[in-house]
Chain A
């Protein structure tokens, strides 16, 4: 197989509040022989909040990010569900509206860039499943996670709106019965936990605006995984991770029950199975201690 190469859009948290996500992404890519070209020029995607303020500006900024991936003639991979949503949404809107695309390009021209629509945008999880293949992952597992019940937490912005999301990857995902993360868990040798919150919202986007709502959603998600007898949770989204890992205090208070589980980024789970070290995966950066390794 030819070496897989992607343009990596790290998003903002990977360089700030979830450094372990950046570390584990690079460690896993290295193990799998995937080359990630980091888009160091990229700006924030707006996280659906700049979009509440200035729609056009957020389109221009996201188009600029994609334009840099196009310059490398590479598919852009994201490692944050919300980056994925906003970037894919921009791509969808520009690819389906010539007038809007022209308007955006008029602005990009000022800085010598052009959005063409030639690069696909996909989350690292789907790049691994679609392009690398889970069968190959299975062959490469050196430390099967066979003693663990692992609860997948998908994160809204990888699975909804499904029409948009399914444009960006080959393996269709059913938002009511998503399977990608379950399949990855199984490929790593683990057992998956089925629980009804696995495709629900973590509350991240209203943590400041509606703290009670956010905390109830976080608490309910962790409680669901605990009741499903999970040893730990895994997520492809750093924002979900922040909620589930760092907000257990507020979450427990909001639902009137002590909840906490170790939560791994999907890259960390894969890294463990592939034999990466704890240091490489940044496990010491978690607030809820990863005590099973």
Chain B
């Protein structure tokens, strides 16, 4: 017998209400409810609709963390409503919980948003296996356990949008594909049966959709209900670009490779050298701030660059352990 104890607690839910057809502005309605520690957020949404206001709208389907329909935000945190328990939510945020749609600017009715941008970007990465399959194959296409492992995590994505609408870059840059689309792209890039490998990578590398614009904030990894760890997949796509020789010279790729040059030469990073190497002639736009920094003692001149002790060790390791080329 489990000794786990179910507790009850009074929670005040501040719930986002909005009907795009009727309301000029959204408003928040308070619902004071007694909840048990074992209830999930979706139970609360159901109770609001069933016990308080039948017009309250939200998406739900499977109730088992598979369909990805019910993701909303609780106190600003993207949350799959059918997965997160009240116990964990109150532990994170206390007894005052704000329920909002994943993206307020895309709200249609209450918790329901127009997820069009998410699906458009998802479509754009060709989220399917592209392979010439013989009509009458003579044997199975074998995938080793090791090869399958490479895409396992990414394959768990349920397209709930939790990471997409937690990503700060998605909020700022409409063209940015976002963590979910990139993680999905990786899922097919890592699939040994896929034949569109290089073409898809080349498309991803185009500047507009921003594979290199990820700010590395880890918001996506933090919220993913399926532990897809999208930022890890974005990093792996970056590595793949170099490994497959698809990476072309631009400010982002030079910035990544620039670290290697610095480390080889100094052990530590040469900040000025890195900006120069990454930007090329574009460095002129940094001159005004750099001059101010210089007057405040924040710029080290090349002849004063610090170096790591035992630099020869670092150089030896760079030589023997490098696995990428540019």
- Which residues in A have some Cβ–Cβ distance to B below 8 Å? 12-13, 15-19, 40-44, 46-57, 60-61, 64, 107-108, 110-111, 113, 156-157, 160-162, 174-177, 196, 200-201, 203, 205-206, 208-210, 212-214, 216-217, 246-247, 249-250, 284-287
Q: Are B77 and A176 in contact (CB under 8 A)?
A: yes
Question: Are A53 and B268 in contact (CB-based, < 8 A)?
Answer: no
A48 touching B255, Cβ below 8 Å: no
B7 an interface residue at 8 Å Cβ cutoff?
Answer: no
Q: Is the CB of B320 within 8 A of A201?
A: no
Report if B118 contacts A (CB, 8 A). no
B residues 131-184 touching A (CB-CB < 8 Å) = 168-169, 172-173
Residue pair B215, A216 in contact (C-beta under 8 Å): no
- Are A41 and B308 in contact, with the CB atoms below 8 A? yes
Known A17-B299, A57-B260; 19 more pairs at CB < 8 Å: A15-B306, A40-B309, A42-B267, A43-B263, A47-B269, A48-B235, A50-B259, A57-B317, A57-B318, A61-B314, A110-B320, A160-B221, A176-B75, A206-B169, A208-B278, A209-B252, A213-B213, A217-B168, A284-B297
Query: Contact: A64 with B306, CB < 8 Å?
Result: no
Q: Cα distance A274–B76 when bound, in Å?
A: 36
**A193 CB → nearest B CB, Å:** 17
Binary interface encoding of chain B residues 42-56 relative to chain A, with 1 for a CB under 8 A from any of its CBs, else 0? 000000000000000
Query: What residues of chain A lie closer than 8 Å to B300, measured between beta carbons?
Result: 15-16
B212 at the interface (CB under 8 A from A): yes
- Residues in B neighbouring A200, C-beta threshold 8 A: 168, 217
How many whole Å from B106's CB to the nearest CB in chain A? Answer: 19
Query: Quick check: B316 and A214 within 8 Å, CB to CB?
Result: no
Q: Closest CB of chain A to B86's CB: distance in Å? A: 16
**Complex-state Cα separation, A52 to B205, whole angstroms:** 13
Chain B residues within 8 Å of A162, by CB? 222
Complex interface: stretch among B108-116, B189-197, B288-296 = B288-296
Partner pick for B173 among A50, A60, A201, A210, CB 8 A cutoff:
A210
Bound Cα distance A60, B323 (Å):
11
With both beta carbons as reference points, the residue of chain A lying nearest to B259 in the complex is identified as A50
Inter-chain contact A208/B93, CB cutoff 8 Å: no
How far in angstroms is the closest Cβ of chain B from A137? 26
Question: Among residues 249 to 288 in chain B, which have CB atoms less than 8 Å away from a CB atom of chain A?
Answer: 251-252, 255-260, 262-263, 267-269, 271, 275, 278-279, 288
Whether B296 contacts A287 by the Cβ 8 Å rule is yes
Q: Which residue of the partner chain, among A52, A157, A160, A212, contacts B239 with CB atoms under 8 Å?
A: A52
Residues of B with C-beta under 8 A to A43: 263, 267-268, 308, 314
B322 within 8 A of A: yes
Q: Contact between A64 and B268 (Cβ–Cβ < 8 Å)?
A: no
Count of residues in B whose CB is under 8 Å from the partner chain: 66
The CA-CA distance from A214 to B210 in the complex, in Å, is 13
Are A111 and B239 in contact, CB atoms less than 8 angstroms apart?
no
Question: Chain A residue with minimal CB distance to B312?
Answer: A111
Contact B242 A53 (CB under 8 A): yes
Complex: A96 Cα to B197 Cα, angstroms: 31
Q: A-contacting residues of B (Cβ < 8 Å)?
A: 75-77, 92-93, 168-169, 172-173, 210, 212-219, 221-222, 229, 235, 238-239, 242, 251-252, 255-260, 262-263, 267-269, 271, 275, 278-279, 288-289, 292-293, 296-300, 306, 308-310, 313-314, 316-318, 320-324, 326
Centre residue among A15, A157, A196 by max chain B CB count within 10 A: A15
Give Cα A36–Cα B266 distance, bound, in whole angstroms.
Answer: 23
Q: Which residue of B lies closest to A18 (CB)?
A: B298
Nearest CB of chain A from residue B233's CB, rounded to whole Å: 12
- Contact present for A208 and B317 (CB under 8 Å): no
Query: A217: which B residues are within 8 A, CB to CB?
Result: 168, 172, 215
Known contacts A42-B308, A52-B256; is A64 also within 8 Å of B314 by CB? yes
Determine if B293 and A17 form an interchain contact, defined as CB atoms under 8 angstroms apart.
Answer: yes
Q: Which residue of B lies closest to A217 (CB)?
A: B168
A-B residue pairs in contact (CB < 8 Å), sample of 12: A15-B300, A16-B271, A52-B238, A55-B323, A111-B317, A160-B221, A174-B92, A177-B92, A201-B217, A206-B169, A206-B212, A208-B278
Given contacts A61-B263, A174-B92, contact A12 B269 (CB under 8 A): yes
Closest CB of chain A to B18's CB: distance in Å?
Answer: 20
Distance of A201 from chain B, by nearest CB (Å) = 4
Is B212 a contact of A209 with CB atoms below 8 Å?
A: yes
Check if A156 sits within 8 Å of B218, measured CB to CB.
yes
- Are A53 and B239 touching (Cβ within 8 A)? yes
Q: Is the CB of A287 within 8 A of B293?
A: yes
Cross-chain contact A12 with B268 (CB below 8 angstroms):
yes
Closest 3 A/B residue pairs (Cβ): A160-B218, A201-B217, A52-B238
Residue of B nearest to A112 (CB): B313
Docked pose: A176 CA to B222 CA in angstroms: 10
For A17, A108, A205, A214, the residue with the greatest tally of chain B CB atoms inside 10 Å of its CB is: A17
Q: Which B residues lie within 8 Å of A287 (CB)?
A: 292-293, 296, 298
Contact B213 A206 (CB under 8 A): yes
Contact at B219–A60, with CB atoms within 8 Å?
no
Contact partners of A201 in chain B: CB under 8 A: 168, 215, 217, 219
Complex interface: chain B residues within 8 A of A110 (CB): 316-317, 320
